[in-house]
Amino acid sequence: MPKVFASPELGVDYLSGTKAGSLKEGAFDPTFGTNHKFYGFMDYFYVGNAHAQAGRTAGLIDIYLNTKIKTGTKSMVLFNLHQFNAPVDVYFSTTKLSSSFGQEADLIYNLNLYPGVNFKLGYSQLFSTKTLEAVKGTIHKGVNQWAWSMITFSPTFL
């Protein structure tokens, strides 16, 4: 069995937002579906309903730590942590809220079964805040989670 090898990656993504009540749009909108790859596997930001206040996208600051740990010749574990914040002030009625949307943890097991056949098993959990509730227009649940599995076939022709 090979030595366990970890490759951590620390970074920050900053997507500008628009202040509530502003007449000028200042929010950056990532197009073409890059949001799932970069802003956590739970897809709370830029997928489906907006994270906005008064019709204006609040933007996003994503502070993340991604780690790949090789666990065998054909397997690895990926562990991603995210701290999500708003780059603009967020309000509920007239009360200013914390800038924190919450934290997300993603855990993925990746196994190459055969050449061209891959298996993945994942689990994600989002620890949301009242600020996220305010911009999503949802009831504060505190903890949101999901699990998934995937088998990928990539045949090679000639």
Tens digits of residue pLDDT in 89-120: 888 888 899 999 999 999 999 999 999 999 99
This prediction's pTM: 0.83
H helix intervals, 102-153: 130-136
Alpha carbons 120 and 116: distance in angstroms, whole number: 13
Give strand ranges (E) for 3-74.
5-15, 52-53, 56-57, 60-70
Alpha carbons 139 and 92: distance in angstroms, whole number: 13
Alpha carbons 50 and 132: distance in angstroms, whole number: 11
Look at 90 and 78; give whichever has higher pLDDT. 78
Any bridge partners for residue 105, and if so which?
A: 81, 125
Average pLDDT, the chain: 84
pLDDT digits (tens, 9 = 90+) for 28-62: 666 665 666 777 888 877 665 566 665 667 788 99
Domain-by-domain residue ranges, the chain? 5-153
Per-residue pLDDT, 71: 92
Query: Lowest mean pLDDT: which of 49-53, 124-128, 140-144?
Result: 49-53
Is 115 buried (19+), middle (13-18) or exposed (0-12) by CB count in 10 A? exposed
Q: Which residues contact 67 (CB under 8 A, 6 or more apart)?
A: 6, 7, 8, 9, 78, 79, 80
Per-residue pLDDT, 56: 67
Per-residue pLDDT, 48: 58
